[in-house]
Structure 1
Amino acid sequence: NLEEGLRSGDEMTMNTFFRMELEPAFEQLAMLGEEVQQAVQAYYSQLDPQYRMVHKQRHAYEQSVLRINDSVARFLDQEQQHAQHIFPHYFEKTCTDGVEMMIYAGASMVEDGNFDLLYLRNLRLWQLRVTCEVARLCDALKSSLSVPLETTHLILVQNTPLTVRFSEIERDFIVEGAYNIRYEIMKKRIDKALVNDGTERLTQPGKIAIVYSHSEEAREYRRYIEFLQYQGYLLEPVEDLALEALQGLQGLRALRVSVDLRSPGLPQAVNDLLQQDAKLITA
């Protein structure tokens, strides 16, 4: 009963039924007349050539996600080159059903060991500004997507130094220690966090959520938000929300603020990337 919705295994059951029960009969059915033959041909023309299944809507969705991820990833690669001039750091991004970026910065990651909190604050301001630009980029892309997807944006504030080591085997930085593992757990769970007595998701389209643990972090980010409101990136008001308790995580809060998606002009870097994206589509 489709009114009750589909379960995770229903798609596989239907595809197996089509392949094992229906498709073997199509050759005989096609002999019944030209109209039936055309219907059989129309069915086969809709099959995904790789998976031999009808994936029209899923394909459109996946292509839309891929295009958003590709555009955001290229934009971040471009912008983080400028951020390296703030302070040399290790930049990492991963793409799945969204784009996640990590910045590792500290005295132990530079040859001369010279590091000041001013560099960290500048990197945080850069990250928040770039997140605003990513939100505006995604909004500008939406009308040209096969599936006009909404995007949400989340920043996790980490004020306690982490212990990281570079793994020669994995060719990547690995976070170590009990507190550091808690940080990794936080990263994986906060995107599903609820607020307002469990009635609303923390992450909302057109807004940036900034999850923090300590009041000092909130005060710091309020200064960045006020500056970016003055610059025309963000709107008022700023919400200060308590997150519903997550498994193993209590007491987290978040600032949430809307991005000005209707600002008179997009930053030149965003406009340049949109033009590049349009050329790739029409090529």
Structure 2
Amino acid sequence: MNDSSPTQDPEKETETETETETEIPQDHPRYQSLITRHRIEEGVDTGITSPQGLIAEGRGEAFDYLLGEKTTSSADDAARAAAALLLHAEHPVISVNGNVAALVPEAIVELAEVVEADIEVNLFNRTEKRMNAIADHLYDHGAQTVKGLKADDQIPGLDHERGTVDADGIGAADVVLVPLEDGDRAAALDAVGKREIVIDLNPLSRSALAATVPIIDNVIRAVPNITEHASALKQADNVALTTVINRFDADEVRERAEQEIRRGELRSS
């Protein structure tokens, strides 16, 4: 091997390979996908997301590609039911992990305001530094209160850090929105009687199967869509909200989403 070959300057390589959102052309056919990847990568650099979050994003992106990277009618039906469930809840909580904080911080804050829900950080790879980084990130995007730092309660059946919650947050919630998959935690929350709204691009995941309302959609579309439906339903009484909730069929939505994915056509990238 010839060791005399020129090497590229590391700082120059980083500068040329790292894109910012403003450098990604909006007419690129995969614009939204590239923006999403960039935000996850940036989150890793700032300590908000973990490297495992990149893998999770890639897995979800594959399903989204087959869905045509759009919100299907079944996902929209689920988003409306989710809005009704959050508005009807006595104590709704939105659970936030690193990927969610990196991808849709403003949308999470807006949804929490519309449905009067708490926001709580809950992580698989939990460290005090990362918890504070995510909380600060949410505050920077308009959150008034962020829970999860007290860590004074535990979800039964989860020995891992994912089971660590705030007693007056997820611990006391009757409805929990869990954006992005986490099968063990979804099952544990279901076991203690909490109703769950899960956003997951895989209709066959344990999270989607455990959910009261599974939304088979990309989180960047699903969260604003729930907010839009919640705003429309904001003045509805409990009878009307209950009707929306009771008419929702989770099994049907999962089946419709699965068929959409199986029929997915290859699209140019």
Q: TM-score, normalised by structure 1?
A: 0.25
Which structure carries more helix by proportion? Answer: 2
Structure with larger RCO (C-alpha < 8 A, sep 6+): 2
Greater strand fraction, Structure 1 or Structure 2: 1
Q: Which has the larger radius of gyration?
A: 1
Q: What TM-score do the two structures reach when normalised by structure 2?
A: 0.26
